[in-house]
Amino acid sequence: MSLWSRRVLPYLIEKAGRSHAILEARRRWVPRAHGDVLEIGVGSGLNLAFYDPARARRVTAIDPSEPLLARAAPRAAGAAVPVELVTATAEAMPFPDASFDSAVMTSPLCSVADPARALAELRRVLRPQGTLLFVEHGLADDERTRRWQRGLTPLWSRVSGNCHLDRDPRALLAEAGFRGEDIAAGAAEGARWLSFTYQGSARPA
Ligand SMILES: C[S@@+](CC[C@H](N)C(=O)[O-])C[C@H]1O[C@@H](n2cnc3c(N)ncnc32)[C@H](O)[C@@H]1O
């Protein structure tokens, strides 16, 4: 693994994840997770402080990045709910069918290698009445920004751990058979090409 992926990228991902807008979104969505919870792409664990022990029984949090999981470990140990960190990709999760009541994703969908496969896996491991809570940046709603996003993605994805600016989380969820319930989309602070965000909840249709 390169020095960039081992040291620099984990630092930058954690720094970006501390922005005011993202913090607000974590505070809004993560405490709603209930029962047995799966967090996909936990990164350095910035969501872990927001789980509500009155609702969440335990959190199983996956990420393929060992350096990010190492950063998440002290946050997992200090969380108010039991947290298990698992090295895995969203495309091949080592869990039986229907294992979880809730799933949380804050911006892994931009980075996974195969979003359709990752969401199919999520449907498999989520219980039929389960809920997905998500905050994902993605394709903006105006053509000018979309052009920038499509143009920048080939270079941006190389330096940012495969982050794509031009994915449409709402369309990906619908194609994977999730019914969005209260999805809000809009630009947050900072550059529109990076901050256009979709947040809400969804259930298997
Ligand atoms: C932008 S970071 C977000 C981290 C964290 N969710 C947060 O809110 O701070 C994207 C995360 O997705 C993870 N990731 C990349 N590919 C993945 C995959 N195939 N399956 C699961 N997670 C993945 C990265 O390692 C990284 O932790």
Span 116-156, pLDDT tens digits? 999 999 999 999 999 999 999 999 999 999 999 999 999 99
Tell me the residue range of the domain where 60 lies. Answer: 3-204
Compute the average pLDDT of residues 179-185.
94
Instruction: Please report, for the domain that includes residue 64, its CATH number.
Output: 3.40.50.150
Q: Is the CB of residue 106 below 6 angstroms from any atom belonging to ligand 1?
A: yes
Q: What is the pLDDT of residue 172?
A: 98
- Residue 137's identity, in one-letter code, is H
- Say what the pTM is: 0.97
Residue type, 17: G
- Computed over every residue of the chain, the mean pLDDT equals 96
Domain count of the fold of the chain: 1
> Buried b vs exposed e over 90-120: b needs ≥16 C-beta within 10 Å?
bbebebeeeebbbbbbbbbbbbbeebeebbe
Mutate which of 15, 39, 42, 63 for ligand 1? The one with the most ligand atoms within 8 Å of its CB, which is 63
> Which one-letter amino acid corresponds to residue 60?
T
